[in-house]
Structure 1
Amino acid sequence: MAKARWLKDFAAIEDNAAIKAQKVVWEGADTAADAFINWPVMLTRLHGRWYIYMDAASQNPPMLTDRLMVLQADTDDPMGSWTLRTSLLGEDVWTLGFAPFEWQGQLYIMASTRKNHTPGTRHGISIASLTNPWTASSEWVPITDPTYAWEMMGPLGPGTAAINEVDQAITHNGRLHVFYSASHVTSQHYTVGLLTYQGSGSLLDRDNWTKRPRPIWNNTDATVGAGQTFVLKSPDSSQDYLGYAYWRTSTRLSPRPMGVVPIKWDANDYPVVDDPPDDGTQFDEPSKLADQPSPP
């Protein structure tokens, strides 16, 4: 795990050697995840504690053996020690990615699954309720499948990868949204969509969710295949940001740099984001931070 005062400082972690130089906070030895591959990983704070949500697979490539597991920090320091609580669900189904969140006092989690989705769907978004950050109180309920052409682009062309990969939930003035990635990560058409809860009825009912009919942004000359998003807040909580991974060109697939763009909000509390900016673009910091030292 790495930490930094400024986002720009993470740019120094750009190769395997730099990654390996970071602190190891959990290894998995002699646990249910021993000798598994852990990917992807999400660090979040729920009910006053730090948690890491991760996929663990018994083989590489995982071949749909991924299962969702949860680590709980032993202290309030995320750079300290961690304990594996359990695999998240008693329901033994494949999952990929995850978006835990709290809504009106109830914990939920979203993940990409295949169970009960439209035939041909490789990844679809499902939701489950939680009794605590590591224990589910329902089975996975599918709430959306890839339905638009831009959600089905693969390296072999249109319609070859029907994928919705859950990224992260965000709330604003009482409205709940979920950012998700669509199409295959190795396609230059990989992009980001938006799923929105309509504000009434059970979150476990797909009829209470709507999907934006087009991606939230477009490819640019400098940024292709932007997806795998994550949400950040400024230290004073006045500004939301959307982070993402991308390609520098349509033929240079790796390494995938990370970028960030401010989130604006329209009159109906829907998020609005500009197309990914060019490398090196600087944003004005929130006014409440103006009296803090600027990064060198």
Structure 2
Amino acid sequence: MILRAFPRASAVALAALLAACSGNGGGSTEPPPVARCTFANPVAGGADPWVVRWNGAYYMVQSRDNGIYVSRSTRLTEVAGPGTRVWAAPDTGWNRTNIWAPELHRVDGRWYIYYAGGRAGPPFTHQRAGVLESAGDDPQGAYTDRGMLYTGDDLAGGGENKWAIDLTVGRVNGQLMAVWSGWENNATTDKTAQHLYAAPMSNPYTISGNRTRLSSPVEPWERGTELDLQEGPEFLQRGGQTFVIYSTKESWLENYRLGQLRLTGANPLQASSWTKSGPVFLPVGGVPGVGHASFTVSPDSSESWIVYHAKTSTTPGWDRVIRMQKFGWNADGSPDFGIPAESGRQIAMPSGQCAN
């Protein structure tokens, strides 16, 4: 062994360095661990999450306590807050109870909230679609009730409205249109098959034509054990292609999942213009009953994200939580949602959300 002589000052400095590295003599000088730029599902309690990004912030709309609330956050993973109540159901009228699944849309420079409501229930046989219009440019500001939307078969003749929930809107080939889940005929039981319907709109609060049935739950992967249904339709558009992503099978059971319609024809108001495929998002062990999704992008717009709900257990019921994850795109332009991320697993934050 060769021993090298060190000047005294250098030896003292070396001893101090070795003591610091060993963790002895006064404790470690290692910096505290940096928080990882990750999150885990679920992100909040709740159901039917609708998220929209606007002016650098995320807005989520939800219904509870017979009212509608809008929350705001600059962080996608923290958007499911208590929010501001923007509307309360009236004491009387067609929409006095059972306020379900609101959606927040910016159309022609104003905000609109589409929701389902009823006058009684259970059984939930009186549900209809309504719309609220913002007074200004603030998604959390005041809204005016624009009333019930027409979801029947005889607009010109004043025919009755038909049962409708989960109405959404979108502009396809320049045409503003509504898509919702409805019954063929009004019934005295809510165990009635649900189909997807569409109709044109002359403005964001007026349906201007009779409905067309776009799709029915006829495929083996859509058929339920208690009820056949399609609900929660949402537009998803990218690269000149238009999809309607919807939920199917019973929402209160563990096999709730997503299906897809792709616009392959010229007229989006004709059933023959849509091609069905699925299932495109399935429950997995530990994440049962996935469905009723909405779609947004990361803060830097480089990633696509799905926000959805899942059941908390395989037991029948509506105890649900909100979850989110990044998704990709297939070579044919269709979305690739992958599989639900298991609870507690650390997931990279949406791109652009973490500080550099």
Give the shorter-chain TM-score range.
0.7 to 0.9
Match of 2:266 in 1: 201
For residues 260 and 48 of structure 1, the distance between their equivalents in structure 2, rounded to whole angstroms, comes to: 28
Q: Which residue of 107, 124, 132 maps to 1:46?
A: 107
CA shift in 2, pair 1:189/1:90, >3 Å: closer
State the Cα deviation string for residues 92-127 of structure 1 (Å, max 9, x = none).
1110112210112210110011227xxx96111011
What is the CA-CA distance between 1:174 and the residue it aligns to? 0.6
Q: Contact 1:108–1:129 at 8 Å: present in 2 too?
A: yes
Which moves more between the two structures, 34-43 or 64-73? 34-43
CA shift in 2, pair 1:238/1:39, >3 Å: same
For residues 241 and 84 of structure 1, the distance between their equivalents in structure 2, rounded to whole angstroms, comes to: 31
Task: Write out aligned runs for 1:118-197 (5 A).
Answer: 122-153=193-224, 158=225, 160-197=226-263
Q: Contact 1:121–1:145 at 8 Å: present in 2 too?
A: no
CA shift in 2, pair 1:51/1:60, >3 Å: same
The reply to whether residue 87 of structure 1 matches residue 148 of structure 2 is yes
State the Cα deviation string for residues 225-279 of structure 1 (Å, max 9, x = none).
1011111222333322111110233237553111112221122110011101012
Match of 2:31 in 1: none
For residues 233 and 86 of structure 2, the distance between their equivalents in structure 1, rounded to whole angstroms, comes to: 23
Q: Contact 1:226–1:244 at 8 Å: present in 2 too?
A: yes
CA shift in 2, pair 1:62/1:45, >3 Å: farther
What is the CA-CA distance between 1:62 and the residue it aligns to? 5.3
What is the CA-CA distance between 1:34 and the residue it aligns to? 5.8
| Structure 1 gaps, min length 5 | 14-18
Match of 2:308 in 1: 244
Q: Which residue of 315, 319, 322 maps to 1:258?
A: 322
Match of 1:103 in 2: 172
What is the CA-CA distance between 1:201 and the residue it aligns to? 2.2
* Alignment RMSD (CA, Å): 2.4
- Whose radius of gyration is greater, 1 or 2? 2
SS of corresponding position for 1:215: strand
For residues 31 and 165 of structure 1, the distance between their equivalents in structure 2, rounded to whole angstroms, comes to: 27
CA shift in 2, pair 1:233/1:32, >3 Å: farther
Letter in 2 for 1:125: L
For residues 110 and 215 of structure 2, the distance between their equivalents in structure 1, rounded to whole angstroms, comes to: 30
SS of corresponding position for 1:202: coil
Q: Contact 2:288–2:314 at 8 Å: present in 1 too?
A: yes
Which moves more between the two structures, 55-64 or 171-180? 55-64
Match of 1:275 in 2: 339
Task: Write out aligned runs for 1:17-96 (5 A).
Answer: 22-29=83-90, 35-61=96-122, 63-89=124-150, 91=152, 92-96=161-165
What is the CA-CA distance between 1:32 and the residue it aligns to? 5.0
For residues 191 and 121 of structure 1, the distance between their equivalents in structure 2, rounded to whole angstroms, comes to: 19
SS of corresponding position for 2:196: strand
Q: Which residue of 221, 228, 232 maps to 2:296?
A: 232
SS of corresponding position for 1:8: helix
CA shift in 2, pair 1:172/1:34, >3 Å: closer
For residues 306 and 145 of structure 2, the distance between their equivalents in structure 1, rounded to whole angstroms, comes to: 29
Q: TM-score, normalised by structure 2?
A: 0.71
Q: Contact 1:241–1:263 at 8 Å: present in 2 too?
A: yes
Match of 1:16 in 2: none
CA shift in 2, pair 1:141/1:151, >3 Å: same
User: More relative contact order in 1 or in 2 (CA 8 Å, sep 6+)?
Assistant: 2
State the Cα deviation string for residues 117-165 of structure 1 (Å, max 9, x = none).
xxx9611101111111111111110011001222122xxxx3x311111
For residues 199 and 255 of structure 2, the distance between their equivalents in structure 1, rounded to whole angstroms, comes to: 29
What is the CA-CA distance between 1:78 and the residue it aligns to? 1.2
How many residues of Structure 1 are paired with residues of Structure 2 in the alignment? Answer: 274
Letter in 2 for 1:65: H
